[in-house]
Amino acid sequence: MSKDNAVQPFEPKVVAYCCTYCAYTAGDLAGSMRLEYAPNVRVVKILCTGKVDAILLLRAFEDGADAVYVAGCAIGDCHFLEGNLRAIQTVAYTKKRLAEIGLEPERLEFFHVPASDGPGFADAANEMTRRAKTLGPNPLRKSITQAAGRKLAKESDEHPPLPEAVLGKLIHHSERTTVG
Amino acid sequence: MIVAERKPLEQVEAMIDGFERILVVGCGTCVAVCMAGGEKEVELFAAELRMKGKLDGKQRTIDEITITRQCDMEYLEQLAKYVDDYDAIVSTACGAGVQFLAERYDEKLVLPALNTRFIGVAEGAGVWSQRCMACSDCVLDQTGGICPMTICAKNLLNGPCGGTDHGKCEVDGEKDCAWTLIYRKLEKIGRLDTMRKIQPPKDYSLMTTPGKYTHEAFKETQAEDEE
Amino acid sequence: MVAAFKQAFAEKPFVVTAEVGPPKGTDVSEMIEHIDLLKDKVDGLNVTDNQSSVMRISSLAVCRMIVDRGGEPILQLTCRDRNRLALQSELLSAWVLGVRSVLCLTGDYISVGDHPQAKPVFDLDSVQLLQTVGLMNNGKDLAGNDMKGPTGFFAGAVVTPEADPIEPQMLKFEKKIAAGAQFIQTQAIYDLDNFKRFMEQARRHNVKIMAGIVLLVSAGMARYMNKNVPGIFVPDDLLDEMAGAPKEKRLETGIRIAGRMIKQLREEQVCDGVHIMAIGKESCVPDILKAAE
Ligand code: SF4
Ligand code: SF4
């Protein structure tokens, strides 16, 4: 859909969700190592890639990002044990959603970038910038002629609240009976 | 709970083709738990519909709201002040919720975004399995808490068919044979005798659709009628 | 009015039946050939009911054709395609058309057949179907209504002696007998030692046992069954025997094995008879019988 755009060079916008423990630190390292990498990347620091959900990734595209990636720890190194594993799942799932919508799934990726891997950080940034350049601008960036959706606030229940549910608490038979 | 899955985007796209103002209504109960139509899923789905519409050059507004439940009129009521603004409502509730929403707003076009699958349990993260087909005459007391109507593909009540294969079901080698499970369980709890009893044929009249049930406490008693 | 098949158990020490598979389509010439070939050589012709969930001519129609040709039919009736109304109506129809024996089965699941999208019925199970036959033999239907004229079926059921696990299978076997099964036909057996062990248990019940004999046509088929057909186990020595046979002798070897097994079952009085399933090779049944002499 964007092949004609691809011919004209453009500067893509790439969003990177980076785990504070690894990829983000690797980014710092890349900086202090004076490594050159694509300046197109906007880094969003997150506590753990496990926090990334499909909607966060999709929103970036909806708002016009040309490529998005999530960079997390190596397998087994997640500070929260399995956040990176979940992120891998989320990215795979979101790629399917992108395909469904009609955007190239290659615009989205997951990378393992350990804290010590400055060059790895640069590679990821370059790779995603390269992909965006080949694929052309995100077609959603074209001027918007429709009203954006909005979320309707839900008003609080009109009825007086029911007694609060006691969930997950075992109520013994004896608590319900009065011993005479 | 009720387990459902989202329809392919394409199918919903075809349903809403030609409409400009669309309200996606989520349901915060069963389908929220099975990650098909709760608040988060509505957010994702609405975003998808917006992006798809934009890519296809469509003039379209997609709004979203999620209510506690769509199978209760009092919650559906909350939508009254909004629905007039829309050409179509896409519901991400189970089939029952979609119908109730359509009944409450009977001048609106209400469309289903999910395929309702079954009554089931969460087996693991993101995995659900059917456990009950609402037969209206539960026999779990006889079968060690394992439903022969649901777990056995042939709804057999008196023991396994000849297809049990190393404890797996002939219909799907990935699934356990219900009657192997039942036998093992009854053996474990020392109640194999219940399996030796011949179970009578099921009373399918109880399952005549549409089912309807009134709680005892809400039934008008004979006495009140006569007064 | 007694079924000739039932009578055979009284008169003979060893009863033999063979399976007839109705065709898909209206050309019955080959099947009729088989019926004519076998009807006087066996004590009953057992007609499958949409076998393997593949749509074919009904068992009842073929049973009647067998009656017309002077043979003794056994109606197979599965719970897969009919609810209790249709099952009972089929039983009444069979009776008035001269069918005297019925084999009650659960039936394979729909998905293994050629119409996997069909709605599976399974309104009754095989145990309940046997009970239904018993009721009808006493002039009542399943709902308890009196019928104008009872049936008098000789009813049977099946068992899988090699089922894994075997315990629930045996439990159901007992229920089938309690529900009125008078004869039991087994799934194909190949390992006689296993079968004898099964017979030790089965002999405690007052029921006639017919061992299922399926003709092996190649080692490949045997391996396929071992892998894919639940409850069938072809032991290694038979596998080797089949594999060792040259191509043109394979069928002959299969016939020899089947004949040898039947002979042993008969001579050692292991069971009351055999049921021969020569799927697609019905014309070989006389050869198997000869090999068993
Ligand atoms: S027997 Fe099975 S289908 Fe029937 S109510 Fe109990 S669990 Fe549900
Ligand atoms: S193999 Fe077990 S679960 Fe499957 S249809 Fe047979 S009895 Fe039912």
With 60 as the cut, is the pLDDT of residue C37 above it? yes
CA count, 13 A, side-chain hemisphere, B124:
0
Measured CA to CA, the distance from residue A85 to residue A75 in angstroms comes to: 7
- Please give the C-alpha separations between residue A12 and each of A39, A133, A143, B52, B215, in angstroms, as whole numbers: 10, 6, 16, 21, 62
Return the DSSP state at C120.
Answer: P
Q: Whose CA is nearest to atom 6 of ligand 2?
A: B161
Confidence (pTM):
0.87
> Could you tell me how far CA C9 lies from the centroid of its own chain?
16
Q: Is B207 in the pocket of ligand 1 (CB under 6 A)?
A: no
Phi, psi of B173 (to 5 degrees): -60, -10
| pLDDT number for residue A174 | 60
- Please give the C-alpha separations between residue C275 and each of B223, C60, C174, C262, in angstroms, as whole numbers: 66, 19, 20, 10
Residue with the bigger pLDDT between A162 and C203: it is C203
Residue written as token pair 């000849």: B162
Contacts of C112 in chain B (CB under 8 A): 170-171
Helix (H, G, I), strand (E, B), or coil: what is residue C274? Answer: strand
Residue A77 φ/ψ region, left for φ over 0, alpha for ψ in the -120 to 50 degree band, beta for the rest: alpha
ipTM confidence: 0.93
With 80 as the cut, is the pLDDT of residue B97 above it? yes
Tell me what the mean pLDDT of segment C199-203 comes to: 94
Q: What is the mean pLDDT of chain C?
A: 95
With 90 as the cut, is the pLDDT of residue C127 above it? yes
What string of DSSP letters covers C31-60?
Answer: HHHHHHHHTTTSSEEEE-SSGGG---S-HH
With 60 as the cut, is the pLDDT of residue B225 above it? no
| pLDDT number for residue C89 | 98
| CA-wise closest residue to B150 among B163, B134, B136, B126 | B134
- Cβ–Cβ < 8 Å for C269, C13: yes
> Which domains are delineated in chain B?
2-118 (3.40.50.11860), 135-202 (no CATH)
Strands (E), C115-207: 154-159, 183-188
Instruction: State the burial class of residue B52 (Cβ atoms within 10 Å of its Cβ: 0-12, 13-18, 19+).
Output: buried
Return the DSSP state at C197.
Answer: H
Return the DSSP state at B210.
Answer: S
| pLDDT number for residue A145 | 43
Q: Do B162 and C142 touch (CB under 8 A)?
A: no
| pLDDT number for residue A153 | 64
B84–chain A Cβ distance below 8 A for any pair: no
Tell me what the mean pLDDT of segment C252-277 comes to: 96
> Which domains are delineated in chain A?
11-141 (3.40.50)
Using the atom order of ligand 1, give the atom closest to the CA of residue B148. Answer: 2
Using the atom order of ligand 1, give the atom closest to the CA of residue B136. Answer: 5
| pLDDT number for residue C135 | 98
Beta C154-159 vs C101-105: how paired, if at all? parallel
Q: How far is the CA of B148 from the centre of ligand 1 (A)?
A: 8
- Cβ–Cβ < 8 Å for B122, B55: no
Helix (H, G, I), strand (E, B), or coil: what is residue B74? Answer: helix
Measured CA to CA, the distance from residue C20 to residue C69 in angstroms comes to: 14
Instruction: Give me the tens of pLDDT residue by residue for chain A, a chain 180 residues long.
Output: 444 544 467 899 999 999 999 999 999 999 999 999 999 999 999 999 999 999 999 989 988 899 999 999 999 999 999 999 999 999 999 999 999 999 999 999 999 999 999 999 999 999 999 999 999 999 988 754 444 556 666 666 566 555 555 555 656 666 655 543
Measured CA to CA, the distance from residue B180 to residue B161 in angstroms comes to: 10
B9–chain A Cβ distance below 8 A for any pair: yes
| pLDDT number for residue C289 | 95
Tell me the CA end-to-end span of chain C in Å, nearest whole number: 31
- Cβ–Cβ < 8 Å for B82, A152: yes
Q: Do C175 and B171 touch (CB under 8 A)?
A: no
Task: Name the residue facing A140 among B8, B51, B62 (closest C-beta).
Answer: B51
| pLDDT number for residue A17 | 96
Q: What strands lie across the sheet with A14-19, from one edge to the other? A: A41-46, A14-19, A67-72, A108-112
Phi, psi of B207 (to 5 degrees): -100, 10
| pLDDT number for residue C280 | 85
> Which domains are delineated in chain C?
4-291 (3.20.20.220)
What is the tens place of the pLDDT at every residue in A51-74? 999 999 998 998 889 999 999 999
Measured CA to CA, the distance from residue C255 to residue C249 in angstroms comes to: 10
